[in-house]
Amino acid sequence: MHRSFAGKGNRGVLTGLDVLVRRQPEQLRGTRFGLLAHGASVTRDLGYAWDVLGTLRGASLRALFTPEHGLMGTHQDMEGVLLKKGSRFRGVPVHSLYGDHPGSLRPSPGMLEGLDLLVADLQCVGSRYYTYLYTLAHCMEACRDAGVEVWVLDRPNPLGGTKLEGNLVEPGFRSFVGRFPLPVRHGMTIGEAARMINEVFQSPCRLRVVPMEGWRRSMWFDQTGLPWVMPSPNMPTVDTALVYPGACLIEGTNLSEGRGTTRPFEIVGAPWIEPEALASALRERELPGVAFRPLLFRPVFHKYAGLTCGGVHVHVIDRKRFLPFLTGIHLILGAKRLWPSRFRWRREPYEFEARRPAVDLLAGGAWLRAVVDRGADLEGIRSTWDRDLARFRRVRRKYLLYT
């Protein structure tokens, strides 16, 4: 028997998976179900979802579906999870929903054949770019067409559910890192976001969300009593999730976002950056809740593998005041202004898109390139975010599940 991770006397939060297994196991009896899951799909006591659900009496687990990075997080970013035909995991057929072409992102009718419902249990990180939400949305569309019900087992937003930041994706810039007009930091759980997507952004499927117990919108992940399990190979800690809404923008540049180090997204730099100069320029911006430590680092894989890079470590010193998206923008601005001849935007294809620059997909529009390349008014652009966020808050209110 597993011992509770939170310890005696600390009830903590129960995820949707915990609620289903502990409170409502009979609801799966008599069903043939598929499971969309990954390595962070665990109970409070660290049992894998496919184990605890697959052994429930009277229920039949017929298929496993995996998002980007694969079932156990073995694949790096944008690395196709290519499975052999007839692949099985613990005797259950397994299907990848992140292959080498856009059509691989959605389950085929054959994958859903014979299923009564699809159970989805994915840990997201509260940021628009994170692709698991869009994998779920594709599954919801496919299940609607196949007449299969969808259950979403809810999990905490690691950044809490009160603070929003950033712009909404413009219509011409929708992609697998921004399929819907959400802000960069949207303040929703995956279950809440699924409810909104199902009613606002696409034709609805039969959807049920199994809510958590004990979660409050003000909670950071480390206040839940739940164990942090890496939802992807470069999301090792809650600190990573906190900086990710801004540091992910670095993927659209020729700066290293720290992949290949032990602190991805917290460390940013390149071989041609002088650490003290960049740190000093960022300190002058007086950004809230953050400090910048100059450093040298050497990635062992990804950008600049084996080369010594100069850069900064982003230290969050007050997470309530910290603005990750604004901080990420200023990281890019600092590098461009100090090293204009060395800095460049990523030109290689990004998330199945070769026509539009990666940074435009991440920023949800061409405005960030205008700010960096042409000196457009960032403060004027930020004022439009406030109006967008006010409208978004009004719409999302209907879909929130927690106080």
Cβ-based burial of 200 (10 A; exposed 0-12, middle 13-18, buried ≥19):
middle
Residues sharing a CB contact under 8 Å with residue 49, sequence separation 6 or more, in sequence order: 17, 35, 37, 41, 42, 43, 119, 121, 153
Low-confidence ranges of the chain (pLDDT < 70): 1-11
Residue 336 lies in a domain: yes
Largest CA distance in the chain: 65
- Whether residue 244 is found in the same domain as residue 286: yes
Among 254, 271, 269, residue whose Cα is nearest residue 359: 254
For residues 166 and 48, state if they share a domain: yes
Question: Looking at residue 42, what DSSP letter applies?
Answer: B
pLDDT of residue 111: 97
**Do 144 and 203 touch, CB atoms closer than 8 A?**
yes
Query: How many angstroms from the chain centroid is the CA of residue 344?
Result: 25
**Per the structure block, which two tokens stand in for 118?**
């699809």
Q: Are residues 94 and 221 in the same domain?
A: yes
What pLDDT, on a 0 to 100 scale, did the predictor assign at position 3? 39
Beta strands 149-153; 60-66: pairing state: unpaired
Domain match, 152 and 125 both: yes
Domain boundary among 186, 212, 229: 229
Name the domain boundary from 180, 202, 229: 229
Question: 294-304 burial by CB neighbour count: b if 16+ within 10 A, else e?
Answer: beebebeebbb
381, part of any domain: no
Residue type, 254: N
Burial of 242 (0-12, 13-18, 19+ CB in 10 A): buried
3-class SS of residue 10: coil
Q: What pLDDT is attached to residue 403?
A: 85
Distance, CA of 345 to CA of 329 (rounded, Å): 13
385 is written with which tokens?
């975010």
Kindly write down the DSSP assignment for every residue of 114-158, as one continuous string: T-SEEEEE----SBTT-THHHHHHHHHHHHHHHT-EEEEE----T
**Same domain? 111 vs 54:** yes
Query: Is residue 289 assigned to a domain?
Result: yes
What CATH code is carried by the domain that includes residue 158? 3.40.50.12170
Q: How many CB atoms lie within 10 A of CB 87?
A: 13
> How many structural domains compose the chain?
2
Beta bridge partners of 96: 66
Residue 397 lies in a domain: no
Output the average pLDDT for the chain. Answer: 95
Convert the pLDDT of each residue in 364-373 to its tens digit. Answer: 999 999 999 9
Place of tokens 């499975």: 83
Query: Rounded to the nearest 5 degrees, what angle is found at the Cα of 358, between the Cα atoms of 271 and 248?
Result: 65
Predicted TM-score of the model (pTM): 0.95
Q: How far is CA 324 from CA 189, 302, 309, in A?
A: 18, 23, 22
CA dist 260 and 269 (Å) reads 12
Query: Model confidence over 122-144: pLDDT tens digits?
Result: 999 999 999 999 999 999 999 99
Give strand pairing partners of 61.
33
Q: What is the pLDDT of residue 6?
A: 43
Dihedral sign from CA coordinates of 57, 97, 134, 68 = positive
Same domain, 201 and 93: yes
> Per residue, what are the HEC states of 167-221?
EECCHHHCECCECCCCEEECCCCHHHHHHHHHHHHCCCCCEEEECCECCCCCCCH
- Kindly state whether residues 215 and 265 are assigned to the same domain: no
CA dist 5 and 138 (Å) reads 33
Parallel, antiparallel or unpaired: strands 32-37 and 117-121: parallel
Contacts of residue 166, Cβ cutoff 8 Å, sequence gap at least 6: 128, 183, 184, 185, 245, 325, 385
Helix (H, G, I), strand (E, B), or coil: what is residue 291? strand
Q: Same structural domain for residues 245 and 322? A: yes
CATH number at residue 332: 3.90.1150.140
β-sheet bridge partners, residue 315: 291
Residues 143 and 268 in one domain: no
Backbone angles phi, psi at 42, to 5 degrees: -130, 155
Do 357 and 320 reside in the same domain of the chain? yes
208 plus 254 within the same structural domain:
no
402 located within any domain = no
Instruction: Look at residue 251 in the predicted model and tell me its pLDDT.
Output: 98
Helix (H, G, I), strand (E, B) or coil at 364: coil
Residue 55 structural domain:
16-229
Beta bridge partners of 14: 213
- Asked if residue 9 belongs to a domain, the reply is no
- Using only the alpha carbons of the chain, give its radius of gyration: 21
Report yes or no on 8 lying in a domain.
no
In a domain, 216, yes or no: yes
Q: Domain boundary at 205, 229, 253, which? A: 229
Looking at residue 369, what is its pLDDT?
97
Which of 127, 138, 146, 119 is CA-nearest to residue 209? Answer: 119
Residues 261 and 206 in one domain: no
Measuring CA to CA, which residue among 300, 218, 210, 220 is closest to residue 261?
Answer: 300
